[in-house]
Amino acid sequence: MDYSSWMINTSLDLNINPHRLHEELPKKEVENNFLSLNLEVKKSSVKQESAGALAEELKRVSAENKKLTEMLTEMCENYNTLRGNLMEYMRKNPDKEHSSSKKRKSESNNNSIPMGVNGTSESSSTDEESCKKPKEDIKTKISRVYMRTEASDKSLIVKDGYQWRKYGQKVTRDNPSPRAYFKCSFAPSCPVKKKVQRSVDDQSVLVATYEGEHNHPHPSQMEVTTGSNRCMTLGSVPCSASLSSSPPTATLDWTKSKSSSESKNTSPKTESPEVPQVLVEQMATSLTKDPNFRAALVAAISGKMLHNN
DNA sequence: CGACTTTGACCCGCGC
DNA sequence: GCGCGGGTCAAAGTCG
Ligand SMILES: [Zn+2]
């Protein structure tokens, strides 16, 4: 509950400012407040030496930042893989201790995700609504997905990797934004449908409701399966994870799937900021809103840093 | 020309 | 039965 009191508010907002007014500032990687204390101490030196020291510190900070970025990415990949495995496991033996009966309560408190990234970070909460009615077998897995999108104000999103055909749009009561109905059109016999509507309070949150399971492989991204790829189920999707308290949620972002996810910066300066910076920004912003994951991340990072030093 | 979007009509369950 | 609200159909339009 009161995580904010004891939470070590370490500099998880690495160089991310919630107000992203300065996206181009070249000193972006400097304001990593991990080592800003050390920087602040030695400001009484002569200018030249200070400049040299600053350059050195900047180099170190950049390396640190890069390391953190890689760690974050790897951790997110691991988390998503683990979550996929868990979902697979829970799907295979559903009779096993379905002790998650105390979920479904805090579904409404964390809907207003306070962050403003122009990317589309998505937060899925695949809950099996199989106990809906005593009707016929409702084996259409209904998974609700909260994806965040600020830029696409007008057109509802369809870009989640699959191929959708819109077949309807209705204005619903108690929500000014319309609801769009999509159907998977990649395979002619794929029964997956999808409803997309903006959230009531947060107009920048799109609530997509997937219904059914695809009976065909994923349309795009079949190019990276040449081995040496350890996240096999996710392909090369840049993703971030945020595990909330009660419902299993994850926020990942696959709208910019194969957009130069590598960009190895061999030079210690200039840091190759654009693409990975944006990704890290999204990931970190979606991560930092969650206390549990934040604590875990803090523990992991501090442990790793101690081990490295 | 084919695939997709748009958009009003239609359908259907539910409450009164 | 009737109105209402949500889901789907399909004719017409649009795009590449
Ligand atoms: Zn499909």
Per-residue pLDDT at A193 exceeds 70: yes
- Angstrom distance, A154 CA to B16 C1': 38
Stronger pLDDT, A191 or A298, i.e. the higher one: A191
Per-residue pLDDT at A40 exceeds 50: no
Work out if A195's Cβ lies within 7 angstroms of strand C. Answer: yes
Structural contact between residues A136 and A297, judged by C-beta atoms closer than 8 angstroms: no
Work out if A168's Cβ lies within 7 angstroms of strand B. Answer: yes
The confidence score (pLDDT) of residue A36 equals 38
Label residue A185 exposed, middle or buried (CB < 10 Å: 0-12, 13-18, 19+): middle
Token pair 């930092």 is found at A288
- For A154, other C-beta atoms within 10 Å of its C-beta total 4
- Give the model confidence (pLDDT) of A197-240 as tens digits: 888 777 778 888 999 888 888 876 554 443 333 433 333 333 33
Bases of chain C within 7 A of a CB of the protein? 4-10
- Distance (Å, whole) CA A224 – CA A178: 37
Q: Which nucleotide is nearest to A178 (CA to C1')?
A: C6
Stronger pLDDT, A180 or A132, i.e. the higher one: A180
Kindly report the average pLDDT of chain A as a whole number.
Answer: 54
ipTM exceeds 0.85, yes or no: yes
- Distance (Å, whole) CA A208 – CA A189: 21
- Residue A102 — φ and ψ, nearest 5°? -100, 15
- Angstrom distance, A81 CA to C8 C1': 36
pLDDT bucket at A154, cuts 50 / 70 / 90 = low
